[in-house]
A and B are shown apart, each in its own frame.
Chain A
């Protein structure tokens, strides 16, 4: 079966996000005065072949551990859907 996983990778809470800060300033300067916070992450979208959803998820989590997420500074959420 084919599954698409959307892996949303974000900086951990305690890590200073300088890019987020810079974007925050720009948005405020553009007039978005109600803006309180900006943090910048990334989305990795993968398509995998697996016997079932549980194994697909397990495979994707292994990819996160092996490469996609640096767990010192990042955390991730995996959204899985069957294709």
Chain B
């Protein structure tokens, strides 16, 4: 399996994502510069990492969404390839319209950097197959603009289609305003596109991939992707039609 981590000017968490993926058995991973125009052949997973691409100027992710490499990322997604956007990567995906919605400034207008509990609400995506439905996991957050927004009707449709994958919750898996760090609509921490092959989330699974730095819950994302890729050849084409 092969992954590519896109590096934009100002990306910070690219090296962290590269490191987490390099430790996944069977995974080849390398960086890809923002103004390249092709992905390495047979790339399974494209990762848009966290950080402050283009300084978050204009709107977080706005300039990166228009970088030359993004046309290729879109083609990859259209073909059914996997795309994972973490934090700034999620912002870039919404700005690119590869995912619906927008990420607005946090409710308290401050940056928040701390451990964070999430409930896994969908486990039939390529990114969450290794988790149990309703499982509570810990991926740290570190962002100032993580408040997910969609107009009400679109939000209802998103929920109806089961596109919400992660929600902020407490240790018992309860989802409620007091445990929502940034005011995100419906306490949404991560969503998937209609087709299920593009995932964006604000918390950082690559920061939860090593027990020494705070936990291994994030490894489930990489394990899920590996399992999904391995089964790809055997798939008959049902389900979410990749």
A18 touches B66 (CB 8 A): no
B107 contacts A by Cβ under 8 Å: yes
Tell me which residues across on chain A come within 8 A of B106, comparing CB atoms: 18
Q: Would you give the shortest CB distance from A63 to chain B, in whole angstroms?
A: 11
Known: A14-B151, A16-B183, A18-B147. A73 touches B102 (CB 8 A): yes
Known: A18-B147, A22-B109. A70 touches B104 (CB 8 A): no
Classify chain A: how many residues form its interface, as a range.
10 to 19
From the candidates A15, A21, A22, name the one contacting B104 in the complex (CB within 8 A).
A15
A35 contacts B by Cβ under 8 Å: no
Tell me which residues across on chain A come within 8 A of B66, comparing CB atoms: 66-67
How many residues of chain B have a CB within 8 Å of chain A?
Answer: 19
Residue-wise interface mask of A (16-38) relative to B, using a CB-CB cutoff of 8 A (1 in contact, 0 not): 10110110000000000000000
What separation, in Å, do the CA atoms of A15 and B104 have in the docked complex?
Answer: 9
What separation, in Å, do the CA atoms of A69 and B183 have in the docked complex?
Answer: 23
Chief secondary structure at chain B's binding surface: loop
What separation, in Å, do the CA atoms of A22 and B106 have in the docked complex?
Answer: 11
Tell me which residues across on chain A come within 8 A of B183, comparing CB atoms: 16, 18
Known: A18-B105, A22-B109. A68 touches B149 (CB 8 A): no
Residues of B55-73 contacting chain A, CB below 8 A: 58-59, 62-63, 66
What separation, in Å, do the CA atoms of A72 and B104 have in the docked complex?
Answer: 11
Tell me which residues across on chain B come within 8 A of A22, comparing CB atoms: 109
B42 contacts A by Cβ under 8 Å: no
B215 contacts A by Cβ under 8 Å: no
From the candidates A14, A19, A66, A67, name the one contacting B105 in the complex (CB within 8 A).
A19
- For this complex, 20 residue pairs linking A to B, each with C-beta atoms less than 8 Å apart, are A14-B151, A15-B104, A18-B104, A18-B105, A18-B106, A18-B107, A18-B147, A18-B183, A19-B105, A66-B66, A67-B58, A67-B66, A68-B58, A70-B59, A70-B95, A72-B102, A72-B149, A72-B150, A72-B151, A73-B104
Task: Report B's interface with A, CB cutoff 8 A.
Answer: 58-59, 62-63, 66, 95, 101-102, 104-109, 147, 149-151, 183
Return the 9 tightest CB-CB contacts between A and B, nearest first: A22-B109, A73-B102, A72-B102, A18-B105, A18-B109, A18-B107, A19-B109, A19-B105, A70-B59
